[in-house]
Structure 1
Amino acid sequence: MTEPDVQGLQRRLAEFAASREWQPYHTPKNLAAALSVEAAELLEIFQWLTPEEADRVMDDPETAHRVADEVADVLAYLLQFCGALGVDPLAALSAKIDRNEVRFPVGRPPGRAARTSKEPDRHSTE
């Protein structure tokens, strides 16, 4: 069995939706809303857990299955959203990492983004 790739998964999702005539409902707005709902369902699993409990969430088979299902739902809606808008998710992620490597250089304390010349100094009186 070959490993799934992004385009193959997007194709399978599109075929699944088409065979059920769901395309009219798969607008960018609806897909973004569904993505948000599924991300919230993933968060719900962790809602009242301590950090230590959250670190061990995959130790319980039932909870691990729920986490995997919600991850799949989030990814499915994200891939469908990207397909609807023509966004290459891997290219978008790569470009974002490139920008973040410049914005957050190695050695800079956490939470202190590198300032560009376009950004005003919020602490300046000018």
Structure 2
Amino acid sequence: MAASDTPGASAGEFDAIRDAVRGFAAERQWEPFHSPKNLAMALAGEAGELVAVFQWLTEAGSRELTPSQRQAAADEIADVQLYLVALADQLGLDIPAAVAAKMRKNALKYPAERFRGSARKYNDESGR
């Protein structure tokens, strides 16, 4: 898939998610607490909770979650997404546009013909 073909939520779908996140915070009068700094810190905390779901699993176990592990992962992924949406909103960022732009950058940085089947970084010329 070319980076320009990156699928994603339509603008309307993403706007609805953002509006729901805004409304949830507004109903609770949480806006004063939702500074970019606080949201970034909360996002990092939720990402840590997602990592904890996988912390002691083997590689194989991380691919074959139990139903309760799968639900825990879903809950934490949702929390990460909610804080990410709130943070982007506070910064005035358009997430679908940012994702599309980043995918274009990544396609240039990691051309498929050079990086297919490799986990090396773009600046690693060791050929691993």
TM range (shorter): 0.7 to 0.9
Q: What's 1:108 paired with?
A: 114
Higher gyration radius (CA):
1
Aligned-residue identity in percent: 38
Larger helix share, 1 or 2: 2
Equivalent-residue separation in structure 2 for 1:112 and 1:89 (angstroms): 24
After superposition, the CA RMSD in angstroms is 1.9
**Which of 46, 53, 67 is the matching residue for 2:54?**
46
Higher relative contact order (CA 8 A, sep 6+): 2
Length-normalised TM-score, structure 1: 0.82
Within a 5 Å distance, the mapping from 1:76-115 to structure 2 comes to 76-109=82-115, 110=118, 111=120, 113=122
Segments of 4+ in structure 1 off by > 6 A?
A: none
**Structure 2 unmatched ranges of 5 or more:** 1-9, 124-128
**Alpha-carbon spacing, 1:99–1:62, altered in 2? closer, same or farther (3 Å):** same
**Structure 1 unmatched ranges of 5 or more:** 115-126
**Which of 62, 68, 80 is the matching residue for 2:68?**
62
